[in-house]
Structure 1
Amino acid sequence: MPKSAQNRRKFLVKMATITTEYGKLSSNKTRTVYLRIRSGKTEKRINTQVKVLESEISPRTKKIKDFSKARQIEMMRLDWEAKINQLGIEALGVKVDAQDITSAISKKEEETDFFAFAKNWLAHTSIKGKKNYKCMLNTFSSFLGKENLLFSDLTYTLLKEFENHLSKKPRAQSLYLGELRHLFREAMLEFNTEEKTIIKSDPFIRYKVPKQVMKKGVRALTLEELMKVYHYQGKPGSRSQLARDTFILSFCLMGMNSVDLFSATNYKNGFIKYNRTKTKDRRNDEAYIEVKVHPFIKPLMKKYAGTKTVFNFCSRYNDYEGFNKNLNIGLKTVGKAVGISDLEFYQARHTFATLSRNLMKFSKGDVDEALNHVGSFEVADIYIAKDFSIINDNNFKLIKRVFKKELA
């Protein structure tokens, strides 16, 4: 390095100093920690997003007593110092003040900051379930104690720590970490090219997202209980009757989820063809499935026929959340009437799976495929062309067995 460059770097490092200070005491008795960068007569405060209690600050030294927070702040200070040193090389011949320094570094980082990317991606994507992604980001930022994170800092160790943080919420473990993986892979597609690799490592090669655990309390109905639901006679046009009808539809359509019943648009030649909303954005086959409609449920298909959608549920409710909420409220009425406590819509799917396996003795692989799950034979799936006739034939056999008296 030329001597002039070395001098310029030394000058910048000497002039740019970084100190720690605390913001005003908030209503929740915490103070935000700031890094103050001074260069010459200029200065700039950086919000670290870290908050400390008054009791965590030494009254004598004004240093943070909590080891983990103190270490976190020191690591951030050293990180900024290293970036300023690097900027010292790149800014030769340019007059630099504190604002210039922070702006230049922030401009570089916004391209590789996980949260910045995630917010931008959510603002432009058409993916369903944005609300879940936003909840995940809020939970993740609370866990970190800040709302900025370089992709290089999103490591296997950090993912395991976040997983442990969610240990009391197994559903969130599977959902949130799956969404983190999806966002990370989307970022790799955007930032990495054949010529340039911005995100250099993928922690999800080593880290495995926890599998979804069945929601506590959700169980399959027995055949006798299912028939009680089927024979329930609610008041015409009531919420409980809608809930009963939709429960039977779901069971007979191979456990079709309420969100897909609400949004499905393709019903031709006796088949409902759709992409499962829950998993279509994270599967190569976009979770596509074709379900053959059994004549047994055609009266219900006609009763709830829609114009632009397969069913008219979207004309009854503004959104899927409202539809699903009302189904479960209605099913509580159904359950109370027939003696099934805490009956809920997702049990239709569990019941379909359980009776398919235990009553009909269908293979687990066929049941998985009917549920539109990713099977255990992913390599074989590459070579085997999709043929939905097997699972549809099985479903017809199940309906014939379960509703044999009604079909007689």
Structure 2
Amino acid sequence: MTTLKAMVRKPRTDGLYSVYIRVVHNRKPGYIKTDKIIDAEHIASNGELTDPVVNEYCAMLIRQYTDRLNRTDVTLWDVKEVIEYLMKADEEVCFSEYAQTYISKIEREGRLRTAKNYKLAVAHLERYFGSNKIMFSQLTSAVLKKWIESLSQTNRAKEMYPTCVRQVFKQAITELNDEEKNIVRIKFNPWLKIKIPKSDGTVQRAISAEACREFFNRPLPKTKMLSPLPELGRDVALLSLCIGGINTVDLYELKKKDYNNGIIGYKRAKTRHSRKDEAYMEMRIEPFIQSTFEKYLSGEDDEYLFVFHSRYSNSDSFNANVNIGIRKICADMGMKKEDYYCYYTFRHTWATIAQNDCDANLYEVAFGMNHSHGLNVTRGYVKIDFTPAWRLNAKVIDFIFFSDEKSKQGKARDIEAPADKLFRISKKMMIRGRAYFKGKVLSEFTDIGFSNVDQVIARLARELPGDIPTGCTVQFRITNCDTQKEVVYERSKGKGF
């Protein structure tokens, strides 16, 4: 049982008394301080308060507290939990303050790049509101939808910013609300009514081997600077292209202990916190870039491998200067501004040339670029042999810098592009079709006269046995004998045929 009563305790230094609500729960007392004060003349000899204004206010407060306590079961709580519940039940929470606390926690965990994204998201939301004191109650679904609409012209922020804000909201609800104790400081979750838009597809920045040769083998623009940015941009781009497309942040953070016997070992900053293997990768430094690699090595007393830390305050500043240098070279080459390269151009180029011109499959490309390629769990406990990535990297270097072969750039399709956009059929082309069920060919022909894939599938389906159960999947393998291109489709009986 809980009892509540207005009372005073010790006098203040000015002789006045602060008014408290005494809370007695399971025979244990506690006190909630109000904002009211009273003088000794309004305190009776038995301790009762005689000021009518204060008594009216305290009576109203006690009624509110009593109503809250009646709506939940506090039998097993201690008096501190009861007081915390009464004080926080109606307290409005500031989203901006909570977000800063949440971001600081992420930073303490070492997730600096993630924290940066959260800062950008919260800062944009605060600019939209025109206040750095946004309350959770202000973030209604209607308001958030309008904010998301204001991001519609961005490529990535329209997905990343709302996702970050939603995560802060989700964490706050988990941390500040306690449904078991009927503590609901955040009254609603507006994100249940909001659909976050997808970011635009990754821009394919890759260039051909011929373009790489032109970029790296032309004179640098003249400059009076001792450490010219075009030279930095060219050298760091070369390091990326010849170390499996390594990112600038990973180059920036490399330490001397990460370089042994001509091999660098690092954990990719972008995904080290989201993968069981911490995105660990080893890459051999090929002789071709040894001189460029050594050009930027730091002094003996520096724990970092390169001098970039002493020249740039952080990895973002380093990346920005590298991109400025690359753009200066592009401008000197007479390129249009919209066609300028950036650092990521050379990471994408490594992947594209590895697949198009060095006969690597997508798994090998992903492995060489330190992507998880869907094997997070396996990579977490297998001792990885990185030599296949080294060999592929050496092939890419040889193809670009030690041959004059033309690359197949432009012939490969975007991985997101549907296969049938490149699989053309006309009535004059010879088509071979096969239908498989449980691995067995049940229908097959080679003929001409088809205008599209659906006609081929319809022809194969007509020859399938009738005892295939409805809902079962059949694989249709179609080969264009003239172009030697092949596609495979799956259709379910009763839906696809």
Shorter chain as denominator, the TM-score bin is 0.5 to 0.7
| More deviation, 118-127/380-389 | 380-389
Determine the C-alpha separation between the residues in 2 that align with 1:83 and 1:358.
72
Structure 1: 5+ residue runs without aligned partners? 6-38, 43-81, 93-99
State the Cα deviation string for residues 201-231 of structure 1 (Å, max 9, x = none). Answer: x9999x9987764565x62111111111111
Change (3 A) 1:198 1:141: farther
Determine the C-alpha separation between the residues in 2 that align with 1:167 and 1:114.
23
The answer for the alignment partner of 2:234 in structure 1 is: 244
State the Cα deviation string for residues 249-279 of structure 1 (Å, max 9, x = none). Answer: 1111111112222222122222222222223
2:288 pairs with 1:296: yes
2:209 pairs with 1:223: yes
State the Cα deviation string for residues 43-71 of structure 1 (Å, max 9, x = none). Answer: xxxxxxxxxxxxxxxxxxxxxxxxxxxxx
Q: How does 1:9-408 map to 2 (within 5 A)?
A: 40=56, 85-86=67-68, 104-105=87-88, 115-124=96-105, 125=108, 126-129=110-113, 130-140=115-125, 147-149=134-136, 166-177=151-162, 179-180=164-165, 213-214=200-201, 219-234=205-220, 237-265=227-255, 266-306=258-298, 307-341=302-336, 342-378=340-376, 381=379, 384-405=382-403
TM-score, L = length of structure 1: 0.61
CA RMSD of aligned residues (A): 4.9
1:169 positional shift: 2.1
Determine the C-alpha separation between the residues in 2 that align with 1:107 and 1:268.
59
Report the number of matched residues. Answer: 319
Change (3 A) 1:231 1:87: farther
State the Cα deviation string for residues 350-399 of structure 1 (Å, max 9, x = none). Answer: 11121112222311122223222332345655675433222222111211
Determine the C-alpha separation between the residues in 2 that align with 1:305 and 1:312.
6
1:233 positional shift: 2.7
TM-score, L = length of structure 2: 0.52
Question: Does the CA-based 8 Å contact 1:225-1:340 persist in structure 2?
Answer: no
2:343 is paired with a residue whose SS is: coil
Choose 1 or 2 for highest CA Rg. Answer: 2
Determine the C-alpha separation between the residues in 2 that align with 1:122 and 1:181.
13
1:291 is paired with a residue whose SS is: strand
Q: Read off the aligned partner of 1:354 and give its amino acid letter.
A: T
Greater share of helix:
1
Determine the C-alpha separation between the residues in 1 that align with 2:100 and 2:241.
38
Determine the C-alpha separation between the residues in 2 that align with 1:135 and 1:219.
25
1:170 is paired with a residue whose SS is: coil
Instruction: Tell me: higher relative CO, structure 1 or 2? Use CA pairs within 8 A at least 6 residues apart.
Output: 1
Determine the C-alpha separation between the residues in 2 that align with 1:335 and 1:140.
36
1:83 positional shift: 9.7
1:86 positional shift: 2.5
Q: Read off the aligned partner of 1:127 and give its amino acid letter.
A: R
1:102 positional shift: 11
